[in-house]
């Protein structure tokens, strides 16, 4: 009897263990599907030899006819065959080590870094403990705190070095904007809606109901204040939920480059106040990195180029994210984290964190931890990003916080400097803004962050150190 009971228990235990193992497998597959945050049933692959594409498509169960292609050598947007039930991340992971494929990536979803409910950001919506009436006037907009901290008035009005961004264009890739807002009067150039595929890049949404409604208008309002004579190109790439994808970003970047209205300066500044976490499944985040290089002859001939952008150069300004964490490894937020590594010492990308009115790192701002300077130091610039007053749809003004608000300040400063120095190379422009800010080189004990960055100073960026009398010592404190 005891033997029977013991054997029965062993059999039950074995069955429970077997069910447990199956559960783990099913959960693992489900979790992997859930964490593959990308457009379903398609991938982006770069193939050096186009003759290999049919065999690659057959091996990975992809439709051999691409949905689209871009670049030289090309990156293809490939759809799955009907029988292929894998996730894009699983396909991309399976492609690792395939020498025929130099680039592989899911068509990643990306979102405003202020959107609520994301696992990688705290969400800093205007609606959290705030109302549209806070700072809700043009007077509050013009008299807020951040211009004094970065010495914006001096940068605009200095008789020798002053600049307001004339002949510059800043493309705002966002949720669209309120085209009729007074803050943009006489400032807009034609844009495009890549969500609805039409020529009206207006914001879409409902006041107080859609959490990201107003994000693009707010970002563009900060650009308008920072560079009052630069033109704003509204490009709607984020839908009503604040969501987009890599391929759509590509379309907007090419459109901005081809439609630069300035005949004097062949540079468009691209403001990217959105992001996405790293793809830890496939360890592949290279599509935008390559695209940023465009068709610029300063890069190595062996690199992929995108001459579809034309002759205009692109300066990329990207928000570093609002996770409040150390932005190393899984903490990085892209496209800002495309900056970093020994090969990006010279770059046309600026990754922007957020500071407070007290010149401290904002609690929500993601920041690189400088343990390996050449690899980890990807957030090299911070700008005011807390309680920033700017435009909101319906002719309103309101307060918002986030690295999304810091990025357009840097975009504006870049426009000031490039306007005054039209022949300056973009790598030199990036270095000028980063190096001529207020130096922050310290360790934040409370967050275990060792920082080596700078808070931007518009006046110093314009005048350069020989003429900049502001103290530039280490003012980084807890």
- 431 in the same domain as 380: yes
- 94 in the same domain as 148: no
Residue 473, in any domain of the structure: no
Residue 194, in any domain of the structure: yes
pLDDT value for 201: 98
pLDDT value for 8: 43
Distances (CA, A) of 308 to 255, 294, 325, 440: 9, 8, 37, 39
- 100 in the same domain as 190: no
DSSP conformational letter for 470: S
- 153 in the same domain as 260: yes
Which of 109, 129, 146 marks a domain boundary?
Answer: 109
CATH of the domain at 258: 3.40.50.200
What is the spatial distance between Cα 393 and Cα 344, in angstroms, rounded to a whole number?
A: 38
Q: Which two tokens stand for residue 190?
A: 């034609």
What is the spatial distance between Cα 428 and Cα 420, in angstroms, rounded to a whole number?
A: 13
- 105 in the same domain as 169: no
pLDDT value for 35: 64
Angle, in degrees to the nearest 10, between helices 426-435 and 403-420:
120
Distances (CA, A) of 334 to 92, 120, 274, 377, 425: 18, 11, 8, 14, 24
pLDDT value for 382: 95
pLDDT value for 302: 57
CATH of the domain at 72: 3.30.70.80
Residue 115, in any domain of the structure: no
- 103 in the same domain as 233: no
pLDDT value for 245: 96
pLDDT values of the chain reduced to their tens digit, one per residue, 478 residues = 334 333 444 444 433 433 333 332 322 333 333 468 899 999 999 998 999 999 999 999 999 999 999 988 899 999 999 999 999 999 999 999 999 999 999 999 998 866 555 554 544 544 333 333 344 578 889 989 999 999 999 999 999 999 999 999 999 999 999 999 999 999 999 999 999 999 999 999 987 788 889 999 999 999 999 999 999 999 999 999 999 999 999 999 999 999 999 988 989 999 999 988 876 655 556 788 878 876 554 445 556 777 766 666 899 999 999 888 787 777 888 899 887 654 455 688 999 999 999 999 998 999 888 876 666 788 989 999 999 999 999 999 999 999 999 999 999 999 999 999 999 999 999 999 998 998 888 888 888 888 888 999 999 999 977 667 655 555 666 6
Could you identify the residue written with the tokens 């605009």?
156
Residue 391 domain boundaries: 138-467
Burial of 42 per CB tally in 10 Å (0-12, 13-18, 19+)? buried
In three-state secondary structure terms, 280 is: coil
Could you identify the residue written with the tokens 């549209």?
132
- 78 in the same domain as 149: no
- 153 in the same domain as 102: no
pLDDT value for 283: 56
Residue 475, in any domain of the structure: no
Residue 249, in any domain of the structure: yes
DSSP letter string over 348-390?
SEEEEEEE-TTSSB-TT--B--TTSHHHH----EEEE-SSEEE
Tell me the backbone φ, ψ of residue 308, rounded to 5 degrees. -60, -20
DSSP conformational letter for 311: S
- 105 in the same domain as 244: no
What predicted TM-score, i.e. pTM, was given to this entire model?
0.87
Residue 131, in any domain of the structure: no
Which of 109, 126, 148 marks a domain boundary?
Answer: 109
- 313 in the same domain as 241: yes
pLDDT value for 115: 59
How many helices, marked H, and strands, marked E, lie in the chain? 13, 17
Question: How many structural domains compose the chain?
Answer: 2
- 266 in the same domain as 172: yes
pLDDT value for 50: 92
pLDDT value for 428: 92
Residue 252, in any domain of the structure: yes
Residue 71, in any domain of the structure: yes
Which of 109, 130, 157 marks a domain boundary?
Answer: 109
- 326 in the same domain as 257: yes
């Amino acid at each position: 009897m005891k033997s029977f009971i013991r054997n029965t228990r062993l059999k039950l235990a074995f069955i429970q263990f077997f069910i447990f193992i199956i559960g783990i497998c099913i959960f693992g597959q489900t979790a992997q599907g859930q964490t593959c945050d990308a457009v379903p049933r398609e991938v982006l692959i770069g193939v050096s030899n186009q003759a290999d594409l049919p065999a690659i498509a057959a091996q990975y169960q992809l439709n051999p006819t691409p949905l689209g292609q871009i670049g030289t050598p090309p990156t293809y947007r490939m759809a799955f065959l009907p029988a292929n039930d894998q996730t894009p991340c699983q396909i991309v992971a399976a492609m690792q080590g395939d020498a025929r494929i130099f680039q592989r990536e899911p068509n990643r979803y990306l979102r405003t870094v202020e959107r609520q409910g994301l696992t990688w950001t705290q969400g800093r919506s205007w609606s959290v403990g705030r109302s549209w009436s806070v700072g809700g006037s043009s007077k509050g907009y013009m008299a807020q705190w951040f211009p004094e901290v970065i010495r914006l008035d001096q940068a605009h009005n200095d008789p020798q070095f002053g600049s307001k961004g004339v002949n510059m264009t800043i493309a705002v890739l966002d949720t669209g904007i309120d085209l009729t807002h007074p803050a943009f009067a006489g400032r807009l150039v034609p844009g495009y809606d890549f969500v609805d595929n039409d020529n009206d890049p207006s914001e879409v949404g409902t006041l107080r109901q859609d959490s990201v409604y107003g994000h693009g208008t707010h970002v563009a309002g900060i650009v308008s204040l920072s560079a009052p004579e630069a033109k704003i190109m509204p490009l709607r790439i984020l839908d009503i939920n604040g969501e987009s994808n890599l391929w759509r970003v590509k379309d907007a970047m090419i459109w901005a480059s081809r439609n630069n209205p300035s005949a004097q300066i062949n540079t468009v500044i691209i403001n990217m106040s959105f992001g996405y976490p790293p793809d830890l499944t496939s360890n592949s985040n290279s599509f935008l990195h390559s695209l940023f290089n465009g068709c610029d002859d300063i890069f190595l001939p062996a690199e992929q180029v995108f001459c579809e952008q034309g002759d205009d150069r692109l300066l990329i300004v990207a928000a570093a994210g609002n996770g409040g964490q150390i932005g190393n490894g899984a903490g990085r937020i892209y496209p800002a984290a495309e900056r970093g590594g020994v090969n990006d010492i010279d770059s046309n990308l600026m990754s922007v964190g957020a500071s407070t009115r007290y010149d401290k790192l904002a609690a929500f701002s993601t920041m690189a931890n400088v343990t390996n300077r050449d690899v980890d130091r990807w957030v090299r610039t911070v700008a005011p990003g807390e309680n920033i007053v700017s435009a909101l749809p319906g002719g309103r003004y309101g307060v918002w916080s986030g690295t999304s608000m810091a990025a357009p300040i840097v975009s504006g400063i870049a426009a000031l400097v490039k306007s005054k120095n039209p022949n300056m190379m973009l790598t030199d422009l990036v270095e000028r803004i980063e190096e001529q800010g207020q130096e922050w080189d310290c360790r934040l004990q409370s967050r275990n962050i060792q920082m080596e960055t700078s808070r931007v100073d518009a006046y110093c960026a314009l005048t350069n150190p020989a003429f900049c009398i502001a103290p530039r010592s280490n003012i980084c404190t807890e």
